Structure 1
Amino acid sequence: MGRRASDMAYVRLRTEIVDWRIPPGTVLAEVELSGRLGVSRTPVREALSRLVADGLAAPQGGRGVTVTAVSLDDARDLFDVRVALDGRAAALAARRADPAVFAELGDRLRAAADVLRLDEDRSGNDTDAYYALVARLDEAVDDAVANPHLFEAQRRLRAQLTRLRRLARDNPRRLATSALEHAAIADAIAAGDADLAVAATRLHLANALAGITTAITADAPRPAAAGVAP
């Protein structure tokens, strides 16, 4: 029961941080979180330790644990590592994957790009569906590569990178282009072309970092970060 409570607290807090519902600099107080999440302080403490290990939170001396800030230097450092890890994973997937899985994902990502281009209202539903497809692509690559050491190295990065990626939520043009870039990665893996898979991955990551850099340096409004629903 304790482990389930800890897992629940971790998943909920991680989601709220990644989605910017808990903004950078927020103090994660054990007592308040225990009451809001409906669990004892021990599971909350364990969840906070995992968030610190993920880099989403950090101890701040007498202030307890706070949500980490997002800086341009951090983004660049993360992408330096991501280029190496994701490029290697894409190459291995191209050699080991079931082509049909990635061919289908490529088609679905292209369809998502069409929807995103036409979405004038930006209700959020299409954006969420696109991010779910990206997560499915990541999972398919993980399954194809089947390297637990590479997976663990990528796991910690993904939470931080997902939070950064949310900075592009209000840029439909960038999201549509990103969907096509992901489709190109899926197509290259489906074709079994490791070199093309690496090149497509590097292109996508370069463009993603450029978009994040613009969002941070322009001091763009952050995605829905005001308050957390109970």
Structure 2
Amino acid sequence: MLDLRLVMWSPLPTRVVVSWIQKTSRGRRVGEVIEGPRVTPLRRRRLVDDATQSLREAILDGRLEAGVRLRQTALAERLGISRTPIREALTRLEQEGLIELLPRGGVRAILLDADEAVELYDLREVLDGLAARLAAGRADPGVLARLQKALARMAECVERHDPGPWFRAHVTFHEEIVRAAANRPLGRLASVVRLSIRRFHPLLLKTERRLDDAYREHRAIFDAIAARDAAGAERLARAHIAGAKAIVLTLMAEGEGHAAVQA
């Protein structure tokens, strides 16, 4: 008779250790059985989520170089997981417009060109403008306080010329506006476009005083939202994105685009 007393996860994440006690005519025997691999639905979902996030960050940070063919098996080995969650993660990233799936298990990060930059920034301009307009009519004191906090962090980064934290505060600022807009389809679209455009961020820092200019633009957007000026908030938000697009296109035309996107 087998009496299972304890089931626990071993240090190997895909294996289960089962401690057991067996009653026999001579007494009892105690032992362990290692079963595996066993992946529960919850754990599989976490594996896919983690793989998606890791690969997304590697693409956006340039660690996975755009345009270079990679094997799905190599990515699975790098992350220490099987090919199944890798395939699911890559499907998500393909839907986000970050990668292209190739025949025979290949994959590559999409190398953005000027035409796609125009398309993405034109869409972002419309989405951010609408979000700012809606937020101006719906933002509560809590939203305004969080926007002010993000602006304060951006101001500190301008003084130190520290682009890393600045971009994090910048993302927070725009995410708060989209949340305040309280439009779920808008939120989903804005999230996808924001991820794709993020690869252009290093390019924006190549212009002198860009952080300072961008801070003033964000400050003006905040002031319009706080004043419940919906038309003004939309106009300023759209002008902010249009200005970023102009900078990106100018630098790409000068031949700096590929290196900056991959930086």
Deviations 1:28-86 (A, max 9, x none): 32111111112111111111111110111112345722111111110111122122211
- CA-CA distance at 1:138 after TM superposition: 2.1
Residues 85-140 of structure 1: CA deviation (Å, up to 9, x unaligned): 11111100000002453355346526634642553xxxxxx212111111211221
Question: What is the 5 A alignment of 1:137-148?
Answer: 137-148=173-184
Give TM-score, length-normalised by structure 1: 0.86
Q: Which has the higher strand share?
A: 2
Q: Give the aligned partner of residue 259 of structure 2.
A: 222
Indicate the residue corresponding to 2:100 in structure 1.
58
- Where structure 1 has 5 or more consecutive residues not aligned to the other structure, the ranges are 120-125
- Kindly indicate whether residue 163 of structure 2 is the aligned counterpart of residue 127 of structure 1: yes
Q: Given the alignment, which residue of 197, 213, 225 partners 1:189?
A: 225
Compared with structure 1, are the counterparts of its residues 38 and 202 closer, same or farther at alpha carbon in structure 2 (3 Å cutoff)?
same
- Answer yes or no: is 1:152 the counterpart of 2:194: no
Percent same amino acid among aligned pairs? Answer: 37
Bigger relative CO (Cα 8 Å, ≥ 6 apart): 1
> Considering only aligned residues, what root-mean-square deviation do their CA atoms show, in Å?
2.2
Q: Paired residue for 1:175, among 211, 227, 233? A: 211
Comparing both structures, which one devotes a greater share of its residues to helix? 1
- Listed as ranges, the gaps of 5+ residues in structure 2 are 1-42
Shift of 1:157: 0.8
Mean CA deviation greater in 198-207 or 55-64: 55-64
Q: How many residues align?
A: 220
Alignment of 1:105-116 (within 5 A): 105-106=147-148, 108-109=150-151, 112-113=154-155, 115-116=157-158
Picking from 200, 211, 223, the partner of 1:164 is: 200
Question: Highest CA radius of gyration, 1 or 2?
Answer: 2
Q: CA deviation at 1:4?
A: 0.5
State the TM-score, normalizing by the size of structure 2.
0.76
- 1:205 aligns to what? 241
Give me the whole-angstrom Cα distance separating, in 1, the residues matched to 2:261 and 2:254.
Answer: 17
**Could you tell which deviates more after superposition, 145-154 or 102-111?**
102-111
